[in-house]
Amino acid sequence: MSHVLIIGAGGVGSVVVHKCAQVSEVFSRITLASRTVSKCKAIAASVKERTGVQVAVEQADADKVAETVALIQRIKPDLVLNVALPYQDLPLMDACLATGVDYLDTANYEPPDVAKFEYKWQWAYKERFEKAGIMALLGSGFDPGVTNVYCAWALKHHFDEIHQLDIIDCNAGDHGQAFATNFNPEINIREITQRGRYWEHGEWMETDPLSWSMTYDFPEGIGPKKCFLMYHEELESLVHNLKGLKRARFWMTFSEQYLTHLRVLENVGMTRIDPVRYQGAEIVPIQFLKAVLPEPASLGPLTRGRTCIGCVFTGVKDGKEKRMYIYNICSHEEAYREVGSQAISYTTGVPAMIGAKMMLQGRWKRAGVWNMEEFDPDPFMADLNTYGLPWTVIEL
Ligand code: NDP
């Protein structure tokens, strides 16, 4: 019986609240806080209608540590679950340290003025979290998150060593909009326009943004899709924690239409993250762009099709080389029917709930700052099957 404070009433936040409400034997009290309290109230109303569970709502600006500390001291949660933006990771970790409360997020810290994500800022909290006797679980979404757990599970049950890892993220869905992102547009575009990066033979190799592609034939009728090599944050922790990895890469599918829009937006300067003066005020072009693009949470009723995210491993077991694929397929329409959100928010929100459940039930519990692959994958893998993200394994 635990109290969870969920911060961020966006697309992912909505799924997390709905899923926690479905597991009321663990999450006996739920509080949702965000900058815009009307968004919290709308989510709470949907949860009440679907599950009968009452969710408390609060207004909070998670950039302001003192405000979050006061909120935590007033409502006394057992865990802070951060599904606001990566910019809020460090202020929320500071608030958890000040109050002695456990922490979980789904995306690693990014400084607002540099489009760069790295674990170093959050890993630097390890000793302080250990000393305070509290835990931080980093990256409990799908990728990062489930992909890390797939790696730990493959290594525990199927390989003595994993030599090559390809994480492949396919969104074969269509929302019918000319251009929209499936999660926060600012974070999404910052990520996609970065240089590509992968790990090979003990060093990081770089590529121009979206300059490498391959066609992968996805299972269960999804078929062949073009995937682009990108840098993604779980590569950093997996290279660190999975000994023996010789190559690790991350791929994502994009449609020609999406890439054409993105190229034009980049060329005209709309993806810039530095401020420009406009009519006497400073605006950041990418933040203005976010304001005119569809909210990810609004894509739920519009999106049709499926996602397929998984890991292809090559390695050795008992001296023999083997190749294996673990994946989940998630339907946008089924996610919408269940919790009122499209599958990208769903595939992130469900693992966030499961990660919180692991911590609150004491199954994953260790003071310090941890990534997902550092814990026993078995209970998490079992919960994925129970709570809406079943997985399939095939030997290739
Ligand atoms: P949204 O933009 O839909 O939602 C973010 C929410 O955070 C908004 O409701 C916003 O509130 C709130 N917020 C922003 N700043 C603050 C603040 N200072 N204080 C309190 N609340 C704040 O994004 P998503 O739901 O799509 O994404 C949420 C997180 O999930 C992101 O960090 C994203 O990177 C991560 N993610 C992880 C994935 C994974 O697989 N690991 C995949 C997809 C997303 P308001 O509207 O009031 O400003």
Ligand 1 contact via 285 beta carbon (within 6 Å): no
Cα gap 371→18, rounded to integer Å? 24
CB 58 within 8 A of CB 32: yes
Whether 175 is covered by a domain: the verdict is yes
Ligand 1 contact via 10 beta carbon (within 6 Å): yes
Ligand 1 contact via 142 beta carbon (within 6 Å): yes
- Pick left, alpha or beta for residue 306 (phi over 0 → left; psi -120 to 50 → alpha; otherwise beta): beta
The CATH number of the domain where 308 resides is what? 3.30.360.10
Look at residue 1 in the predicted model and tell me its pLDDT. 83
Ligand 1 contact via 20 beta carbon (within 6 Å): no
Whether 95 is covered by a domain: the verdict is no
Atom of ligand 1 nearest to the CA of 145: 41
Distance from Cα 317 to the centre of ligand 1, integer Å: 40
Please classify residue 173 by burial: count the beta carbons closer than 10 Å to its beta carbon, then call 0-12 exposed, 13-18 middle and 19+ buried.
buried
Whether 173 is covered by a domain: the verdict is yes
Look at residue 117 in the predicted model and tell me its pLDDT. 84
Look at residue 203 in the predicted model and tell me its pLDDT. 96
Atom of ligand 1 nearest to the CA of 13: 25
Burial 296-305 (b: 16+ CB within 10 A, else e): bbebbebbee
Whether 228 is covered by a domain: the verdict is yes
Distance from CA of residue 166 to its chain's centroid? Answer: 18
Whether 231 is covered by a domain: the verdict is yes
Of all protein residues, whose CA lies closest to atom 2 belonging to ligand 1? 184
CB 345 within 8 A of CB 351: no
Cα gap 332→326, rounded to integer Å? 20
Domains contained in the chain, number? 1
Three-class secondary structure assignment of the chain: CEEEEEECCCHHHHHHHHHHHHCCCCEEEEEEEECCHHHHHHHHHHHHHHHCCCCEEEECCCCCHHHHHHHHHHHCCCEEEECCCHHHHHHHHHHHHHHCCEEEECCCCCCCCCCCCCCHHHHCCHHHHHHHCCEEEECCECCCEHHHHHHHHHHHHCCCEEEEEEEEEEECCECCCCCCCCCCHHHHHHHHCCCEEEEECCEEEEECCCCCEEEEEECCCCEEEEEEEECCCHHHHHHHHCCCCCEEEEEEECCHHHHHHHHHHHHCCCCCCCCEEECCEEECHHHHHHHHCCCHHHHHHHCECEEEEEEEEEEEECCEEEEEEEEEEEEHHHHHHHHCCCHHHHHHHHHHHHHHHHHHCCCCCCCEEEEHHHCCHHHHHHHHHHCCCCEEEEEC
Report the predicted TM-score, pTM, of the whole model to 2 decimal places.
Answer: 0.95
Atom of ligand 1 nearest to the CA of 297: 3
Ligand 1 contact via 55 beta carbon (within 6 Å): no
Task: Please state whether beta strands 196-200 and 203-207 pair in parallel, antiparallel, or not at all (unpaired).
Answer: antiparallel
pLDDT digits (tens), the chain, 396 positions: 899 999 999 999 999 999 999 999 999 999 999 999 999 999 999 999 999 999 999 999 999 999 999 999 999 999 999 999 999 999 999 999 999 999 999 999 999 888 788 999 999 999 999 999 999 999 999 999 999 999 999 999 999 999 999 999 999 999 999 999 988 888 889 888 899 999 999 999 999 999 999 999 999 999 999 999 999 999 999 999 998 999 999 999 999 999 999 999 999 999 999 999 999 999 999 999 999 999 888 888 999 999 999 999 999 999 999 999 999 999 999 999 999 999 999 999 999 999 999 999 999 999 999 999 999 999 999 999 999 999 999 999
Look at residue 154 in the predicted model and tell me its pLDDT. 98
CB 369 within 8 A of CB 103: no
Task: Please state whether beta strands 2-7 and 79-82 pair in parallel, antiparallel, or not at all (unpaired).
Answer: parallel
Distance from Cα 36 to the centre of ligand 1, integer Å: 12
Look at residue 186 in the predicted model and tell me its pLDDT. 86
Structural domain for 271, as ranges:
146-330
CB 181 within 8 A of CB 258: no
Whether 363 is covered by a domain: the verdict is no
Distance from Cα 11 to the centre of ligand 1, integer Å: 7
What's the number of CA atoms in the CB half-sphere (13 Å) around residue 138? 30
Written as six digits, the tokens of 245 are 């990895």
Distance from Cα 109 to the centre of ligand 1, integer Å: 12
Whether 14 is covered by a domain: the verdict is no
Of all protein residues, whose CA lies closest to atom 3 belonging to ligand 1? 10
Angle between helices 285-292 and 185-192 (to 10 degrees): 130
Q: Residue 337: CB partners within 8 Å, gap ≥ 6?
A: none
Atom of ligand 1 nearest to the CA of 12: 25
Whether 83 is covered by a domain: the verdict is no
